[in-house]
Amino acid sequence: EEGGRSSERRRLAQVPQYGSINGSSSSDSCPTCKGTGRIPRGQQDQLLAVIPCNDVRLQPRRTKLYVCISMGLSILLCCLILFFFFPRSVTLTPVSVLSVMVYFTPDSVEMEVTNLFNMTNENFVPVQIAEFSMQGVVNEIVVGHTKIANMTAIESRSRKPVSLTQAKSASDTHNYCKSTTIKIHTLFLKLITMNIAYLSHTEQLSQDVFEYIDCGNNSTIPHPVRS
C-alpha cells in the first residue's frame, strides 16, 4: 500500500501545471490563478477568465466618495458660471458740464455743450455701447439731438469717463437769451438714453439729467450736474 501511494505521488508530480500545454515554456502566468496557472502565450485576448464572486476586483471601493466628489464639482462649476456670467448693472452717471460755447444768429441761439459722464460696468464681461442718444430739452421743446452708434466698449469691472459735445439750437428762447435786462440767462436741459449690448442681449438705459447753462454769453463755468 505504501508503495502504491509513492507511485501515485510520482505520477501526480509529472502532471503539468494547470493550464499549461504539455509543460511548454511558451506560456504566461494566469492572472486569475494567483500565478499558479499557465495560459498559452499570445491568446490572452481570446480566453475568458472566471473569478469568484467575492473577488476584490468585483467590489468597487469608495464609490460613494467618488459620486459625492463629482456632484460637488458639478455644483461648484454651476455656481461659478452663474457668478461670473449673471448680468449685473451698467450705470451712466453724469459728472459735470465741461464747457458751453454760445453763438447768436439773427433768428436763434446756437450752443455747443460738452458734458462728462462716467460709465460703470459691474459685469465680468465687456459691455459694448451699441448706441448713445443724447437729447436736449428746454421747456418741453427739443433743442438738440445727438446719436452715436458703436461708440465705445467698457471693459469688465471698470469705469470709463466719456465726454460728449452736443450742438443745440434754441429759436424760441432767442429773445430771452439776448435780453439785456436779465443778468443770467439760465436754461435747464434734460438728457439722455443709452443702448448697451452684452451677453448676447441688448438693454436700454434711460436717465434724465438736469443741467443749467447761461445762454446769454460764454460765462458758464464747469460745474457738476445732477440726475
Q: Which domains does the chain have, with CATH numbers?
A: 1-57 (no CATH), 90-224 (2.60.40.10)
Instruction: Work out the mean pLDDT of the chain and round it to a whole number.
Output: 78
Q: Which tens digit of pLDDT belongs to each residue from 204-227?
A: 888 777 788 888 877 777 878 766
Detail the DSSP E strand segments found in 139-222: 141-149, 153-154, 158-170, 186-198, 201-214
pLDDT band at 33 (very low <50, low <70, confident <90, very high): low
Q: What pLDDT, on the 0 to 100 scale, is given for residue 73? A: 97
Average of per-residue pLDDT across 33-55: 68
Per residue in 95-133, pLDDT (tens digit) is 888 888 888 888 888 888 888 889 899 999 899 888 888
Kindly report, residue by residue over 159-180, the tens digit of the pLDDT: 999 888 888 887 777 788 888 8
Cα 192 to Cα 136: distance, rounded to the nearest angstrom: 8
Give the other-Cβ count within 10 Å of 113's Cβ: 24
Of 75, 115, 74, 81, the C-alpha closest to 97 is 115
Q: How far apart are CA 140 and CA 125, in angstroms?
A: 38
pLDDT at 19 over 50: no
Whether residue 147 contacts residue 132, with contact meaning beta carbons closer than 8 Å, is answered with yes
Distances in Å between the Cα of 11 and the Cα atoms of 7, 25, 29, 206, 219 are 6, 20, 23, 102, 125
Q: How many angstroms separate the CA atoms of 135 and 210, rounded?
A: 11
What is d(CA 209, CA 49) in angstroms, rounded to the nearest whole number? 83
CA-to-CA distance for 19 and 118, rounded, in angstroms? 84
Task: Supply the pLDDT for residue 15.
Answer: 46
* The predicted structure's pLDDT at residue 17: 46
Express each pLDDT in 80-95 by its tens digit: 999 998 888 888 888 8
* Percent of the chain surpassing pLDDT 90: 12
- 119: exposed, middle or buried (C-beta count within 10 Å: 0-12, 13-18, 19+)? buried
Q: How many CA atoms lie within 13 A of 13 on its CB side?
A: 6
